[in-house]
Amino acid sequence: MKIYVMRHGRTVWNEKQICQGRSANRLSKTGKEQVKNQAEKYKDIKVDIIFSSPLMRTMQTTNIMNKILKAKVVKDNRIIEVDQGIFTGQRKKGLTDEEKFELNQHSKNSGMETYEEIYSRVIDFIRFLRQNYKGKNVLVVTHGMIASYIEKIGTSLELKREEIKNYSTFQNAEIKKIEI
């Protein structure tokens, strides 16, 4: 199976460096252009199915990609953005050092989704793909951290949460291919 993991295009909140969390933000003009450019680059790849986070910015990304790819689209909450709790809507530059530390810890005290919860839902999603889409080409449209977890866990279900110390960063509209 080939999994093409894609982070959504840039949003206005990305441009303003505001924590988005699960808010309903739209792609910016730049974000739409980023996605159109990626769709054009991947137009010759046959995609059997597209899984998308249900948030507005990922669905916009999915719809732009699918104008060219023309595949079945399935919304999946397992690949939704990380819940950033009380930090949702806050400017990153305005956070104190203590708040930045808490944001990076994914503390339940701040209403955030923990790293363990993120890991659990991503590994469940990958197991689902392995069981149901062998030999297929799958596009997954999601968010930065979730895309990174999919990339890291994708080839090794034996990987433990504590082994994911430095996950990679996906740029807006970036696509990476993983073969399982």
Domains annotated for the chain, with CATH where assigned, are 2-179 (3.40.50.1240)
Q: Which parts of the chain are beta strand (E)?
A: 2-7, 49-52, 72-75, 137-142, 175-179
Task: Please tell me the distance from the alpha carbon of residue 51 to that of residue 5, in angstroms, as a whole number.
Answer: 10
Output DSSP code: residue 84.
B
Tell me the whole-structure pTM to 2 decimals.
0.93
Is the four-CA dihedral 108, 124, 61, 75 of positive or negative sign? Answer: negative
Contacts of 1 by beta carbon, 8 Å cutoff, 6+ apart: 129, 130, 133, 134, 135, 136, 137, 138, 179, 180
- Say if residue 57 is exposed, middle or buried (CB neighbours under 10 Å; 0-12, 13-18, 19+): buried
Task: Please tell me the distance from the alpha carbon of residue 31 to that of residue 35, in angstroms, as a whole number.
Answer: 6
51-61 pLDDT per residue, tens: 999 999 999 99
Amino acid residing at 127? R
* Mean pLDDT of successive 10-residue stretches along the chain, which has 180 residues: 97 95 96 98 96 98 97 98 94 90 85 89 94 97 94 73 67 94
Contacts of 63 by beta carbon, 8 Å cutoff, 6+ apart: none
pLDDT of residue 42: 96
pLDDT of residue 15: 95
